């Protein structure tokens, strides 16, 4: 049995460790050892679901998942509806705690995205709470609710139009006291589909020749606005998301295949482009929106 250790802190950055271990595994049974997991954010939770899905599809049976029963992180996973979604991915070795409470910092629990109605339901569900979180917690103007809803819809639409595979979305606020000194909203979306290179290959691979790969495909979409549609004006979602996130001094990164591209503000030290990452199917989009600084003067 291949044992894949889950990092003690699991987020979009440490997901690479999970992808690296998964890439080593063969066709035998897989066990995800999450007994040392102590902290996880939406990007980490969705990454774990994605890794479990890849292992399940590869071996034909659900991989096992071990978690520390009764731990705070296990209770948090229940609050985020992880176990409800994970039942179709993992063979769970821990009895899920009862999900009997909610929290105002959770904008959107782990939610599968498979159809367009799923997207509409997600956007409708977060509209009201998004207003409270964006205005009261992050000091955004009232108009930001509509703009955030567009971002949410577009990143989910990316799954339906490009991935042709299961996807998930989640969002929550956190206090980054040491790193930023402000609260942030983290929005994560992931799928295990074709990825940017696969989605854009038919339309654009020929023009790039030998340069075509995961990093080139990400640059084509993220920086140059190229899409899989032959007519201009369609599929500009990533470009518009990037511009809006930048207006809010936020950060956005996309991991696909073996590469990650990012648009980073001054407070973030993420490299703008990373290559030769552990291979992983699909695309993982991670957005961080910081609270706006209010000038009381």
Q: What is the pLDDT of residues 112-170, one digit of tens each?
A: 998 889 999 999 988 878 888 999 899 999 899 999 999 999 999 888 877 777 799 99
Question: What was the pLDDT predicted at 160?
Answer: 81
pLDDT per position as a tens digit, 59-105: 899 999 999 888 899 999 999 999 999 999 999 987 777 765 566 78
Domains and CATH numbers, the chain: 1-98 (3.30.750.24), 102-297 (3.30.565)
Q: Is 249 helix (H, G, I), strand (E, B) or coil?
A: coil
Query: Average pLDDT of 241-263?
Result: 95
Encoded tokens for 264:
């980073």
260 Cβ contact list (under 8 Å, min separation 6) = 218, 253, 254, 271, 273, 274, 277
Least confident residue range of 14-28, 90-104, 263-277, 283-297: 90-104
Residues 1-59 have pLDDT tens digits of 899 999 999 999 999 999 999 998 777 789 999 999 999 999 999 999 999 999 999 98
Q: How far apart are CA 41 and CA 47, in angstroms?
A: 10
Q: How far apart are CA 77 and CA 81, in angstroms?
A: 6
Q: How much is the pLDDT for 233?
A: 47
- The two tokens of residue 170 are 């989640």
CA distance 133 to 148: 11
pLDDT at 295: 61
**pLDDT at residue 201 tops 80:** yes
Residues 2, 61 contacting (CB under 8 angstroms): no
């Amino acid at each position: 049995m291949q044992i894949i250790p889950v990092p003690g802190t699991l987020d979009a950055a440490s997901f690479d460790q999970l992808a690296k271990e998964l890439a080593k595994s063969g066709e035998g049974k897989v066990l995800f050892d999450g007994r040392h997991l102590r902290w996880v954010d939406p990007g980490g939770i969705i990454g774990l679901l994605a890794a479990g899905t890849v292992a399940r599809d590869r071996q034909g049976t659900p991989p096992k998942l071990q978690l520390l029963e009764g731990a705070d992180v296990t209770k948090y996973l229940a609050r985020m509806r992880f176990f409800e979604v994970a039942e179709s991915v993992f063979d769970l070795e821990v009895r899920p705690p009862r999900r009997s409470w909610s929290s105002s910092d959770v904008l959107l629990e782990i939610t599968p995205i498979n159809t367009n109605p799923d997207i509409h339901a997600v956007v409708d569900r977060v509209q009201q709470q998004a207003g409270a979180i964006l205005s009261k917690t992050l000091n955004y103007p009232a108009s930001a609710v509509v703009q955030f809803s567009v971002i949410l819809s577009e990143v989910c639409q990316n799954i339906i139009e490009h991935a042709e595979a299961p996807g998930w979305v989640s969002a929550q606020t956190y206090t980054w006291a040491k790193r930023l000194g402000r609260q942030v909203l983290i929005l994560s979306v992931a799928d295990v589909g074709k990825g940017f290179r696969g989605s854009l290959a038919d339309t654009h691979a020929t023009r790039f020749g030998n340069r075509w790969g995961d990093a080139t495909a990400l640059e084509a979409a993220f920086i140059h606005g190229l899409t899989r549609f032959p007519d201009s004006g369609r599929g500009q979602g990533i470009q518009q998301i990037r511009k809006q996130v930048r207006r809010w001094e936020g950060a956005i990164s996309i991991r696909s295949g073996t590469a990650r591209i990012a648009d980073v503000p001054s407070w973030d030290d993420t490299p703008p482009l990373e290559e030769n990452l552990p291979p992983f199917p699909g695309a993982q989009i991670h957005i961080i929106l910081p609270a706006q600084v209010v000038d009381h003067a």
